[in-house]
Structure 1
Amino acid sequence: MKHSVLILLSYLLSTATLAAPTHITNVQGYTLSDKEEMVTFTDMVFDGGKVLAIGGGSSLKDTYPDADVIDGKNRILLPGLIDAHGHILGLGETLLAVDVRDIPSAKASAQKVRDYAQKNPDLTWILGGGWNQVLWADNAFPTSEMLDEYIQDRPVWISRVDGHAGWANSKALKIAGVTKDSLDPPGGQIVRDKNGVPTGVLIDNAMNMLVEKIPQDTEQDLQRKLDAAEAHLLSLGITSAHDAGIDYATYQYYIKRSQQLELSMRIYAMIAATDPKLADMLNAGPIHDQYDYLSISSVKVYGDGALGSRGAAMLSAYSDDHENIGLLLTPEKQLKPLFDLIMGNGFQLNIHEIGDRGNRLALDQFEETFSRINGQHLRNRVEHAQVIDVTDIPRFKTLEIIPSMQPTHATSDMNMAKDRIGEARLKGAYAWQTFEEQGSIIPFGSDFPVELANPFFGLHAAVTRQNRNNQPEGGWIKEEAVTVEQAFKGFTYSGAYAAHQENSIGTLSSGKWADFILIDQDIFTINPQDIWKTKVLETWVGGVKRYDSALND
C-alpha cells in the first residue's frame, strides 16, 4: 500500500499544473530531432511530465525565470532508452528464480539448481533458466538424470537461454505425462535417447506439455515479478519496453496496474497469438492509458524456433544437422486466418521469425494479406529477422515491414552461427547495416531475459560487432556494424516509431514526455569498445525520477 501511495503521489506531482517547471541545466544533452537529426543541448525545461523546451542555458532561464533549477553537473543526458523486444515478467521471474546463465557445464548448472532448491524449501516447483549447451565442452543437451542426482522430491524445469527449450527432471516429466509413448506435438520435439526414451529436454511446442502443469501465477506472483523487472530495467536506463507476448492474465494485470497508476515505466505489450482468449482481447480493442504508460495494440505471432536449438525454420538443412530444417511453431496453413484476424481488427502484427524459411513465409503472408485487406499502415514487424535470404531483404522495405532486431544476439551467436548455417547463409544474417542502407526503420532491443537487458551492451554490440572482451578483433562480419548514431536511433526514435509512439516518446522535444537518463560517459566521443561500460546515474519517466544510483549503491 505504501508503494502504491508513493507512485500515485508521483503521478499527481508530475501532472500538477500549479507547480513551477523544472529546469535541468549544465548537461551535455543529445537527442534526435523530429526530423531524425542529431541535436545537442545544455538545458531542458519540463513541466507536467512533458518537455517544454531544450536549448542553451541563458535563453531558457529568461523564458522560464520561475523554474526550479537542477544542476546537471556536466553529465550526459539522453532520452530514455527503449527496448523494443523483451519479456518483462520473464525477466522478473529470472531475477527471482535460479539463473544458470554462463555456467560452464551441465553438472555445475544442476548443482546451482540444487543450491537454490535447498535455500527455498517451500517452493513446490523449482524454476529457472539460462542454460546453454553451446558453452559446454561436450556441446550436448543436459539430461533429467543430471537433475535427478540432486532433486527427486520436487519437479524441476529450467528453460534454455533462448526460451525455446527446457530441461526437466524425472519428477516434472512424470507430472507432464511425457513418456516413451508420447508423440512429438506439431512444432515441437521431445528429445530422446537411442531407445526412444525422453532425455529430459523439450523443444519449442513440446514445452507446453510441461509448462501447462506449472501452477498459474497468483496476483502476488505477478506483482513480485513486475516490480523486480521494472526496478532492474529503470536502473539500466530503460524507460519503455515492448513486452513480446503476454497472456490473458498478464493483460488483465497490466490494465489493473495502469488504472491504479502503479506502473513505473512504459509498457508496449504484444498479446500472445497462442492465448485462447485472443479473440476476446482483440474485440476489446486497443488499450492506451492517458499517461502513455500502457499500450496494447499489437499481437505477437510465433513463427519458428531458435537457432541455438536448431528450431529456426530454414530453407535447406542445417549445416551441422543434415536431416533438420527446423520447426514451424505456427503451421503455414494457419498464417492466413491468423493474419486476417489480427490485422482485420486493426492490431499491429509482430511475428517471431529467425530462420530464412520462417522469414520468407512471413513476408509472403504479409504480401498476400495486404493484397486483400491492406494493413501496411499498422507498421507490422518481424521480430528478430535474424537469418534472411539476401533476396528477401529488400522485401522488408517494399512491404513496409519493420525488422525488429537485437544486437547482442549476433555477438552471442557468432561462435555457433557458422556451424549451424554455413558461410553462404551468413551473408543475410544479422544484417543491420544492409537494412539501414535500404532505409528500413530498425528498432533495437535485447530479448531479455534471453540476453542481458543492459541497453549499453546492445549499443556496444551494434557498433563493434564484438563481445565485451573485444573479440573478434575488428568485429564479426564487421561490414554489418552500424554507427553510434544509428544504434542510438535504434534504441530511441526507432523503438518509439515501431510502437506508433514517436509523437510522445523516443526524443526530447516540446510536448513529448520527459523521459530521460543521466549517464557517466559520452557514448558519442569515447572509444566504441567502452560503450558497454556506461553506467546509468539517474532515470526519469514523465518528469519523475524513478532511479538514482546514489541511492542504490
Structure 2
Amino acid sequence: MTGLFPFRYSFLYLLLNLFLLSSCNKKQQIYADTVVVNATFWTPDVAMDTIEAMAIKGDTILAIGKRKTLNEHINATTTVIDAKGKMVVPGFIDAHVHLLMGGNSLLNVALRDVDNKQEFITKIEDFAKTLDSDEWIVEGNWDHTLWGGELPNKSWIDSVTPNTPVAIYRMDGHMILANSAALKIAGIDTSTLNPAKGEIVKDAEGEPTGILKSEAMYLVLDKIPPLSPEKKIDAILKAQNYFLSQGVTSVHDVDSLGGFSVLQKMYASNQLKVRVYSADPLPQYRTIDPNTLVANKWIKNGLLKGFMDGSLGSHTAAFNNPYSDSPKDKGILMLNNDTIFKWIEEADMAGFKITVHAIGDKANTTLLNAYESVLRKNPEKEPRFRIEHAQHLDPKDIPRFSSLKVIASMQPYHAIDDGRWAEELIGKERAKTTYAFNSLLQANALLAFGSDWPVAPASPLYGIYAATTRRTLDDNNPDGWYPAEKIGVTDALKAYTINAAYSEFSENIKGSLAVGKLADFVILSEDLTKIKPEQIKDVNVMATYVGGKLEYSKD
C-alpha cells in the first residue's frame, strides 16, 4: 500500500492544480454601467446587422454585438437603455468650428437670417440698448446676398449706434462692417491706405463705407477689448450646449483666440462636456514650446492653422483667373509658395500638425505644391496635412489629395448656401469642381466634414443632407447643384465620425463604436440609411451621450 501513496498524492495534487489553474484563467465577469438595446446601430467598421446591443463601463465601450452575448454584462445595477428602434451612431465630430467666435455670437446680435435692410438696422439698434456704454457690438454674421447683394454701409447704423462701436462679421468671417464710432477708434479715415493683403472700401468721394476686407479688418478688430476669462467660459458653455443638441461630441476649434487656457481650467473643474482639438495660428510655431502641448481625452492642442486666402463671397478667395463679375479681380493670395513652404516645413519638423485655409483654385494649388515639397524632403513622416475648405479646385489638383495623403476638411452646408449665387462670381466651368465631394472620393481622397460654425449651423445632420442632396437653400436645385458631386449617406457619416477622428490622430479612441473606445454616441429619430436623403434635415437628435453620460435629451 505504501507504494501507492506517492501516486495517489501526486494525482490529487494534479487535480488541485488543474482546478486552481482553471479558476485563475476563468475570465472575471465585468458588469456594465449601461447597456443600449433595441437600436439600429451604425458604425463605420462593423456590419450593422451584427450589432444588437452595446455595453458601457465608465466612459468606455465594454462590449458590442449580439444581445444574447451582452446579457452577461447586465446585473441589478446596470442601466438598460431601450432605444425603441431608433438609430445609434458614433458621436459626431465637427472638424471645423470657431469655438469662441461661435459662443460669443450666441451672446451677441444675431444677423445670420436677416433678409432686409430695416431688420438689419432694427436688430442692431435693439441690441445696442442692452449694452453698457463701453461695450462693442461684435459677431453678427450677416449675409448681404439675402437682401439682394448690396453691401451694408456705416450710414445704415450710425444714427442708432452713435456712441457704441460696431464691428460685425459677414458670415464668412473675411469681411466686417464697422460704424463711424469704431472707425474713429481705429483711426481710419479718407487718408488711410489699404494694408498689403486687405481693402478699406471707400465711396466715390474717398470716404470709408465701413466695409473692411481681409487684413484691413484687423485695423478695427485689434482695437476690441479682449474677452475676459469669465466671458470666455460663458461663451464656451453656451457653445457646448448648442453642440450637444446637434449630436456633436467633439470639435476641432480652428482658431483658439486664446481660449485653450480657458479650456484647461474648465477641464480641471469638470465643466467640459464636449471634447476639443484646438489650433493656434501657424505663424506662432516659433513661439510655442512643443513640450508644453496637452493631449488627453477632453482637450488637445498642437494643431497650427494658416491662411492662403479669404472667401468667395467677399471676393478675397484667390483664383488663377479673374472673377466673372469683376474682370480685374483675382482675389487675394495671402502667402506665396516660398513663405508657406518655409512655415510648414519648420512647424512640421518641430512636431506640430498643420492645416491651412484655402478657398480659391490658386490658393489650393499653391498650398498643395508646398505640402508636396515638404513631403518630398521627409517622405517617412505621416503628417496628415489638411486643407480647410478645399472649396474651388483645379481639376488637375483633385488626384493630388490622395497621392499626397492630404485630408480635405470640408463643410457641406456651404455648398447649398453658396450654390445660390456662386456661378455669378466664378461661372459654370469653375463651379463644376466647387465642393467636389464625389470627385475627391472617387480619387481616393479622405474627407473630414465640419460646419464652420458660426458661419453655418453646427448641424451634422444638415451637413449630411447637404452632401447627399446638394439642394440649395433657395430650392432652385431640387436635383442638386452639380449633382455629380453628391455622395452617399455612409460616406457622409464616415466624414463626420471616423475620418474626422483620423484627421486629429484620435481614430484609436473615438470615431466609431468599438470595444475600448470612448462611449460617445448619439440616438437619432430615424435611420439615415433607410430614409430619402432629402428627409435627413428633418431628423431629430433624441439624445447625446459623452463618455457614457447623457448630456442632452430632446425629451
Fold similarity call, TM over 0.5: yes
Q: What is the aligned partner in structure 2 of residue 265 from structure 1?
A: 274
Query: Residue type of the partner of 2:183?
Result: L
Query: Residue type of the partner of 1:89?
Result: L
Q: What is the aligned partner in structure 2 of residue 399 from structure 1?
A: 404
Match of 2:45 among 23, 33, 37: 33
Whether the aligned pair in 2 keeps the contact of 1:29 and 1:40 (CA below 8 Å) is: no
**Deviation for aligned residue 1:274:** 4.7
**Deviation for aligned residue 1:414:** 0.6
Asked if residue 280 in structure 1 is aligned to residue 287 in structure 2, the reply is yes
**Deviation for aligned residue 1:181:** 1.3
Match of 2:364 among 359, 364, 367: 359
Asked if residue 23 in structure 1 is aligned to residue 24 in structure 2, the reply is no
Residues 282 and 327 (structure 1), Cα distance of their counterparts in 2 relative to 1, 3 Å cut:
farther
Partner secondary structure for residue 513 of structure 1: coil
Greater Cα offset, 337-346 or 217-226: 337-346
How many percent identity over aligned positions? 34
Residues 477 and 38 (structure 1), Cα distance of their counterparts in 2 relative to 1, 3 Å cut:
farther
Asked if residue 118 in structure 1 is aligned to residue 129 in structure 2, the reply is yes
Alpha-carbon displacement from aligned partner over 1:144-187 (angstroms, at most 9, x marks no partner): 11111211111111110001100011000010111111111122
Q: What is the aligned partner in structure 2 of residue 519 from structure 1?
A: 524
Measure, in 1, the Cα distance between the counterparts of 2:205 and 2:289.
Answer: 46
Q: What is the aligned partner in structure 2 of residue 3 from structure 1?
A: none
Residues 469 and 529 (structure 1), Cα distance of their counterparts in 2 relative to 1, 3 Å cut:
farther
Measure, in 2, the Cα distance between the counterparts of 1:51 and 1:240.
Answer: 17
Q: What is the aligned partner in structure 1 of residue 186 from structure 2?
A: 176
Measure, in 2, the Cα distance between the counterparts of 1:402 and 1:375.
Answer: 17
Partner secondary structure for residue 447 of structure 2: coil
Measure, in 1, the Cα distance between the counterparts of 2:256 and 2:49.
Answer: 36
Match of 1:256 among 265, 269, 278: 265
Whether the aligned pair in 1 keeps the contact of 2:38 and 2:85 (CA below 8 Å) is: yes
Query: Residue type of the partner of 1:364?
Result: N
After superposition, where does 1:410-425 map in structure 2 within 5 Å? 410-425=415-430
Query: Residue type of the partner of 1:253?
Result: V
Query: Residue type of the partner of 2:404?
Result: L
Partner secondary structure for residue 158 of structure 1: strand
Partner secondary structure for residue 196 of structure 2: coil
Measure, in 2, the Cα distance between the counterparts of 1:202 and 1:375.
Answer: 43
Match of 2:233 among 201, 223, 228: 223
Partner secondary structure for residue 84 of structure 2: strand
Match of 2:168 among 158, 183, 186: 158
Measure, in 2, the Cα distance between the counterparts of 1:455 and 1:296.
Answer: 23
Partner secondary structure for residue 58 of structure 1: helix
Measure, in 1, the Cα distance between the counterparts of 2:323 and 2:186.
Answer: 30
Partner secondary structure for residue 495 of structure 1: helix
Alpha-carbon displacement from aligned partner over 1:336-365 (angstroms, at most 9, x marks no partner): 221123111111110000000000110111
Alpha-carbon displacement from aligned partner over 1:116-160 (angstroms, at most 9, x marks no partner): 1113345621223221112222x1211111111211111111110
Alpha-carbon displacement from aligned partner over 1:404-436 (angstroms, at most 9, x marks no partner): 111011100012211111111123211000111
**Deviation for aligned residue 1:282:** 4.3
Measure, in 1, the Cα distance between the counterparts of 2:49 and 2:475.
Answer: 30
Match of 2:210 among 191, 200, 208: 200
**Deviation for aligned residue 1:258:** 2.5
Alpha-carbon displacement from aligned partner over 1:81-108 (angstroms, at most 9, x marks no partner): 1111111111101111001112112332
After superposition, where does 1:71-470 map in structure 2 within 5 Å? 71-121=82-132, 124-137=135-148, 139-247=149-257, 249-275=258-284, 278-289=285-296, 292-374=297-379, 376-467=381-472, 470=475
Alpha-carbon displacement from aligned partner over 1:491-539 (angstroms, at most 9, x marks no partner): 1111111111111001000000000011111111112111001111111
Residues 471 and 457 (structure 1), Cα distance of their counterparts in 2 relative to 1, 3 Å cut:
farther
Asked if residue 501 in structure 1 is aligned to residue 506 in structure 2, the reply is yes
Measure, in 1, the Cα distance between the counterparts of 2:475 and 2:116.
Answer: 24
Asked if residue 490 in structure 1 is aligned to residue 501 in structure 2, the reply is no
Residues 240 and 327 (structure 1), Cα distance of their counterparts in 2 relative to 1, 3 Å cut:
same
Whether the aligned pair in 1 keeps the contact of 2:419 and 2:472 (CA below 8 Å) is: no
Partner secondary structure for residue 129 of structure 2: helix
Measure, in 2, the Cα distance between the counterparts of 1:131 and 1:168.
Answer: 13
**RMSD value over aligned CA atoms?**
1.9
Measure, in 1, the Cα distance between the counterparts of 2:531 and 2:107.
Answer: 35
TM-score of the aligned structures, taking structure 1 as reference length: 0.91
Measure, in 1, the Cα distance between the counterparts of 2:447 and 2:307.
Answer: 20
After superposition, where does 1:467-478 map in structure 2 within 5 Å? 467=472, 470-478=475-483
Measure, in 2, the Cα distance between the counterparts of 1:95 and 1:240.
Answer: 19
Alpha-carbon displacement from aligned partner over 1:35-80 (angstroms, at most 9, x marks no partner): xx65652211010210011122122103545533222222221111
Measure, in 1, the Cα distance between the counterparts of 2:156 and 2:455.
Answer: 23
**Deviation for aligned residue 1:542:** 0.7
Whether the aligned pair in 2 keeps the contact of 1:381 and 1:402 (CA below 8 Å) is: yes
Aligned positions, number: 526
Measure, in 1, the Cα distance between the counterparts of 2:381 and 2:521.
Answer: 31
Q: Which runs of 5+ in 2 are unaligned?
A: 1-28
**Deviation for aligned residue 1:251:** 2.4
**Deviation for aligned residue 1:285:** 4.7
Residues 182 and 469 (structure 1), Cα distance of their counterparts in 2 relative to 1, 3 Å cut:
closer
* The structure with more radius of gyration: 2
**Deviation for aligned residue 1:224:** 0.6
Measure, in 2, the Cα distance between the counterparts of 1:123 and 1:548.
Answer: 39
Alpha-carbon displacement from aligned partner over 1:320-339 (angstroms, at most 9, x marks no partner): 11111111233544212211
Q: What is the aligned partner in structure 1 of residue 63 from structure 2?
A: 53
